[in-house]
Structure 1
């Protein structure tokens, strides 16, 4: 006969902790989010056709956008972009008719990375970051995310020297229309996967590298690279939307004025600048200058270089 191993289990109400209610609400929200996303994705994947035409409605797609936007904009210590800034970016993304895809290039890995990946689930989203470790962890936990590390060689403290250099090479290595893969311009990023230089990017977001102290990798090379990719665009639409975060900092402001051009600035939301850059043809006067009009900020920067 087996010994009697009966055990008594005592059930008693737990004593609530100060954060128990917040954790409960957070868990409930995340559960509802998962259920909602699963339902809408299943709805999209099982959409039937009538008379040979797809009957996918825009409502589920719009709802997915709103759910993800709300989730990403929930205030946390990791939040990077404000709700109005996220709304500006996602509104631009939503201008592409569903289920048409678009090409999104993002410099920087942030709290919103998975949001942008999810919003463009039917298109191509590529992330560029300075940290190989961060990218490795991102890809390990999130299957399907496409990200590459790159060494940003420019520093924040080198801003004015680099602007002066770019002016001297404007008709040579640092021209606005070129294939950066073969460029020797110090500002051009030419060690990315080859496809990056061939894709017609519809939207480019510059939110990296860090750039918040003198010896940190600056964003001037990312801004220059984005401006050249937009002007040298092959195929796709004739315009590229370029967003520059932390536009209030000197490198981002002066670099944007110099290469993205104030005449192309269509909106500022807090410290986020939104530019619309048109592709250009190589040759002629316009083929060797980034801006038609020298902005006041760029003029000030030029004056500083001359003195």
Structure 2
């Protein structure tokens, strides 16, 4: 006999369908919410990345500009005066005096940055020239390859090259004569000396030395105080050609000749740098300012009679220099 308290529960199909529908709506809602959340995160991340990319170059440019400005800042006057003072007070017998250093320093200070300085001779003032040409390019040329290597090893900031001179001081007159005979050919005042066979031209330096537009050239080497010493005939001639062959820059080159009291320095200076370009002189220092010339120019000095023939007889009739 069955228990009369037993209850029979019947679920209508509609009720089952309604519960399933509610679960589907809930699942759909959660899916849409999740999708919207993911889209929001993706959009925000992309916007942040875009802002970072656009802002970073600006920040980098600003930082780079600040760095360049700081790097290119001129050397303070007090530092320059201190360097000049201690350099001129040294006990080195072969040092320059303050009166000799000051004109060169003044030109370097006024030189547009960066300034290109070429120095013939590794001397007591080598580190001074490097320091005074702050932010500029300084190259040294010396006759002693071992000393040039030593200076570069001891002072890695120094850019030095050696050159083997083939001239002798006692040959000055003959060398000038040959140069005048070849003034329309190998010894032209405007040319690339790298490809020149002129005996007075220095043509065995690294290629890039001939490509630089030198603003200031200092001739303080090689040795020239006895007949068989190399003398400064080649550096003076080479400096005259480099200055007149400039392609860019201001168009002017300051050339300083040290030991100006000696015959070789004065005679070769008059011949290849020219008296009309001498703007300042003392017993020991000559200061020339040369302007670039056209490739069709075949005379170093304006007051020399123009050369119209390459024959030795006619070339030798030209005046040596102005006095």
TM-score, length basis structure 2: 0.72
Provide closer, same or farther for how the CA distance between residues 62 and 215 of structure 1 changes in structure 2, counting only shifts above 3 A.
same
1:164 corresponds, among 169, 177, 180, to: 177
1:252 and 2:262 correspond = no
1:214 and 2:217 correspond = no
* 1:217-256 superposed matches below 5 A: 217-256=230-269
> Could you say which residue in structure 2 is the equivalent of 1:197?
210
State the shift of 1:300 in Å: 12
Q: Which runs of 5+ in 2 are unaligned?
A: 1-62, 306-316
Distance 2:218 2:163 in 1: 16
Aligned residues: 248
Distance 2:149 2:70 in 1: 39
State the shift of 1:53 in Å: 10
Distance 1:236 1:274 in 2: 19
Distance 1:275 1:84 in 2: 17
Q: Which runs of 5+ in 1 are unaligned?
A: 1-47
Provide runs of 4+ in structure 1 moved above 4 Å: 48-60, 299-303
Give 1 or 2: higher helix fraction. 2
SS at match of 1:261: helix
> Could you say which residue in structure 2 is the equivalent of 1:84?
99
1:112 corresponds, among 101, 125, 147, to: 125
Distance 2:160 2:70 in 1: 33
RMSD over aligned Cα atoms: 2.6
SS at match of 2:76: helix
* 1:65-84 superposed matches below 5 A: 65-84=80-99
CA-to-partner distance for each residue in 1:251-273, whole Å, 9 max, x for gaps? 11110000000000000133100
State the shift of 1:229 in Å: 0.2
SS at match of 2:186: coil
Structure whose CA Rg is larger: 2
TM-score, length basis structure 1: 0.75
Distance 2:125 2:66 in 1: 40
Task: Tell me, yes or no, if the aligned pair for 2:87 and 2:128 is still in contact at 8 Å.
Answer: yes
CA-to-partner distance for each residue in 1:93-112, whole Å, 9 max, x for gaps? 01025xx2100000001100
